[in-house]
């Protein structure tokens, strides 16, 4: 049984903090995303403790979960934000985030996005190509500003994760080859509208061991020494994010596991003055949420048994996209024995790829509630309206208090901005 600390059984019913999930389903319907506010705080605290006494800026990788209430909670705790679009910048500002703690990543920054970030006063642009460097310099000069920049380097390190979420290999689209970095920094030194502030690296997501980070760090330290020799003095080192969470039986490294090694390595090379920037996403929110869904039908066959649920790939695409595993818990479980059927949990989307979990032994009946665990990251944020299905509601539980932080979409709103042709 895989249950996150803030989602536990009480009186044989799964709760979010002090609230039974049955009550939430009755009040808000299903499918429903349920988040624990205390889980968010605990995740943040693990990074704060790991960085005590050192210069550390945690920039939440908000693509994992960008609900305004989640961003607001982290902003109030003091985090910065890692953004990858102008839309994400707008969300940070709407949630009360501090733009001076924002790092702007992403390979395809458009002119309007760069202008908005310069106007807002972001901490840094994580530059991902020579063409982007030139574009930022030109826009900053036109606006009469100096753009703070950090070059995202690709260290060619295998993060030992899914190919779709690996970002630090030569075959990935992100960053520039680390061996090209000195020449690009030399070009940046020539551009008066740029202010070099750091170096950035991000090698992937759902990383459960620290050795890939340390391999990348070794290469980054050599680069920093080389840059010092050519007169580039950096203020920060951005190691990206990517620390994994437990979906099934993983034992992921903790922020303290990672940072203790990082601080020792930097001190050994007289680089302890550098501010460390981290961009955690999944590890901040992944186990802070569940997707609550209801069984519509049970379909028993010769080759497969299907539990048809009201959540679908438009609500949670990770299983279809990454073949990802999410633990499934019956909210009010019945005993399981050797004769209990094994089910594939599938949704109502008209696609054979519409599945949430496969080969799960569960004692089920129609109308049962199920909780898809570890659904706080890359879940709602990747959802869609495919098959003209309204996106699910989101609620935040704080002890015994429940906050509706996004209502379920109304059918009419799905096509309200569309226009019929003249008759």
What do you get for the CA distance between the two ends of the chain, in Å?
59
Dihedral sign computed on CA atoms, order 211, 213, 214, 220: positive
Give the residue from 132, 144, 143, 235 showing the smallest Cα distance to 188.
132
16 vs 7: CA distance, rounded Å: 5
Dihedral sign computed on CA atoms, order 347, 350, 355, 359: positive
124 given a catalytic annotation: no
Strand pairing report for 236-238 and 194-200? parallel
353 vs 403: CA distance, rounded Å: 33
Strand partners, 403: 396
Residue 378 among known ligand-binding residues = yes
Residues 6+ apart with CB under 8 A from 275: 55, 56, 57, 198, 235, 236, 237
Residue 279 among known ligand-binding residues = yes
CA angle 33, 84, 319 (to 5 degrees): 40
381 vs 379: CA distance, rounded Å: 5
Contact 327, 6 (CB under 8 A): no
335 vs 120: CA distance, rounded Å: 56
**Catalytic site residue from 59, 124, 201, 350:** 350
Residue 280 among known ligand-binding residues = yes
Residue 318 among known ligand-binding residues = yes
Q: Which two tokens stand for residue 152?
A: 């995202």
Residue 198 among known ligand-binding residues = no
Residue 213 among known ligand-binding residues = no
Q: Which two tokens stand for residue 107?
A: 């390979």
| Cα–Cα distance list, 188 to 125, 147, 191, 223, 233 (Å) | 13, 11, 5, 16, 13
Give the residue from 317, 281, 289 showing the smallest Cα distance to 32.
289
CA 303: distance to chain centroid?
A: 37
Reported as type and span, the H/E element at residue 61 is: strand 56-61
Strand pairing report for 289-300 and 80-83? unpaired
152 vs 200: CA distance, rounded Å: 4
Residue 301 among known ligand-binding residues = no
Annotation: binding site: 242, 279-282, 318, 322, 351, 378
Catalytic site positions: 350
Annotation: binding site for pyridoxal 5'-phosphate: 242, 279-282, 378
């Amino acid at each position: 049984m895989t249950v996150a600390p803030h989602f536990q059984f009480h009186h044989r019913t799964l709760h979010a903090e002090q609230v039974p999930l049955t009550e939430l389903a009755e009040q808000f319907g299903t499918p429903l995303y349920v988040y624990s506010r205390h889980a968010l705080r605990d995740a943040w605290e693990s990074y704060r403790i790991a960085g005590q006494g050192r210069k550390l800026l945690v920039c939440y990788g908000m693509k994992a979960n960008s609900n305004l209430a989640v961003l607001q909670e982290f902003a109030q705790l003091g985090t910065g934000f890692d953004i990858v679009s102008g839309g994400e910048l707008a969300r940070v500002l709407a949630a009360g985030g501090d733009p001076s703690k924002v790092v702007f990543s992403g390979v395809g920054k458009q002119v309007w996005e760069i202008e908005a970030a310069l106007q807002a006063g972001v901490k840094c642009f994580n530059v991902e190509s020579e063409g982007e460097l030139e574009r930022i310099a030109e826009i900053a000069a036109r606006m009469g500003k100096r753009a703070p920049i950090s070059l995202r380097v690709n260290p060619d390190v295998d993060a030992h994760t899914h190919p779709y979420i690996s970002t630090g290999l030569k075959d990935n689209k992100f960053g520039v080859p680390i061996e090209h970095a000195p020449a690009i920094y030399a070009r940046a030194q020539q551009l008066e509208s740029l202010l070099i502030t750091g170096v950035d690296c991000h090698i992937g997501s759902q990383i459960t061991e620290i050795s890939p980070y340390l391999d990348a760090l070794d290469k980054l330290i050599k680069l920093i020494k080389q840059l010092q020799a050519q007169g580039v003095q950096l203020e920060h080192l951005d190691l990206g994010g990517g620390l994994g969470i437990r979906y099934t039986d993983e034992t992921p490294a903790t922020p303290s596991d990672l940072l203790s090694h990082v601080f020792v390595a930097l001190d050994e090379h007289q680089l302890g003055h550098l501010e460390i920037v981290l961009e955690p996403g999944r590890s901040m929110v992944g186990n802070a949420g569940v997707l609550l869904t209801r069984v519509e039908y049970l379909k028993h066959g010769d080759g497969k048994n299907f539990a048809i649920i009201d959540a679908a790939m438009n609500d949670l695409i990770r299983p279809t996209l990454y073949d990802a595993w999410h633990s499934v818990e019956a909210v009010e479980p019945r005993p399981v024995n050797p004769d209990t059927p094994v089910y594939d949990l599938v949704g109502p989307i008209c696609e054979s790829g519409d599945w949430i979990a496969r080969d799960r032994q569960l004692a089920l009946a129609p109308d049962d509630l199920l909780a898809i665990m570890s659904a706080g990251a890359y879940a709602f944020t990747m959802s869609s309206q495919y098959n003209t299905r309204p996106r699910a509601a989101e609620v935040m539980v704080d002890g015994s208090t429940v906050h509706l932080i996004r209502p379920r979409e109304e059918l009419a709103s799905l096509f309200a901005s569309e226009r019929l042709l003249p008759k």
